[in-house]
Structure 1
């Protein structure tokens, strides 16, 4: 049930944002229950509304799939032949 509630709130938040409507807990709850026929657990709309007030939704959409390391990738060090030489007793 929890995953369904999260998904309903996610879609509701995206649709409200796309239409330029303020994302509030009451809008999320009413939109989720009216259009998706999902009984949303009561805490999800307020959590999503707080998240949407603190974060830029456009940035969240554009950063999907990007990891924290994507902004600063490390250089890959090539191994030299010296690194691959093994002695008999190494």
Structure 2
């Protein structure tokens, strides 16, 4: 990551830590005070991306996401098992019938 990008990120973190609203002007002011040249467009893009977000909450919940889709998959399997376990057998029969129907066309690939 470039120095200017890191400086802008650190500036946003400093502002969030001080409970100050994150704006492009404040990011540019902090990076200028740190003797880092930052184009104003990058400061405004970062400020717009962080607008309305609670940075402290985002940082404290970094590893908290991602568990919900995995929890849903076993529930679907459990529902099939509760139905008597016949769902997988029905799927196998459908696959077999599909394969057999391809052979009944009356011609082969190399005939």
**What is the rounded CA distance, in whole Å, between the counterparts of 1:33 and 1:24 in structure 2?**
14
* 2:37 match: secondary structure: coil
- Backbone CA RMSD of aligned residues: 2.4
Structure 1 residue runs of 4 or more that deviate by more than 2 Å after TM superposition: 66-69, 71-75
Higher RCO by CA contacts (8 Å cutoff, separation 6 or greater) = 1
Q: Which residue matches 2:70?
A: 74
- Return the TM-score normalized by structure 2: 0.54
- Structure of larger gyration radius: 2
TM-score by length of 1: 0.65
Within 5 Å, which residues of 2 pair with 1:1-90? 3-34=2-33, 36-64=34-62, 66=63, 68-69=65-66, 71-72=67-68, 74=70
Corresponding pairs, count: 73
Work out whether residues 17 and 56 of structure 2, in 8 Å CA contact, stay in contact via their aligned partners in 1: no
**Counterparts of 1:67 and 1:20, CA distance in 2:** 23
Q: Which runs of 5+ in 2 are unaligned?
A: 72-111
What stretches of structure 1 of length at least 5 have no aligned partner? 76-90
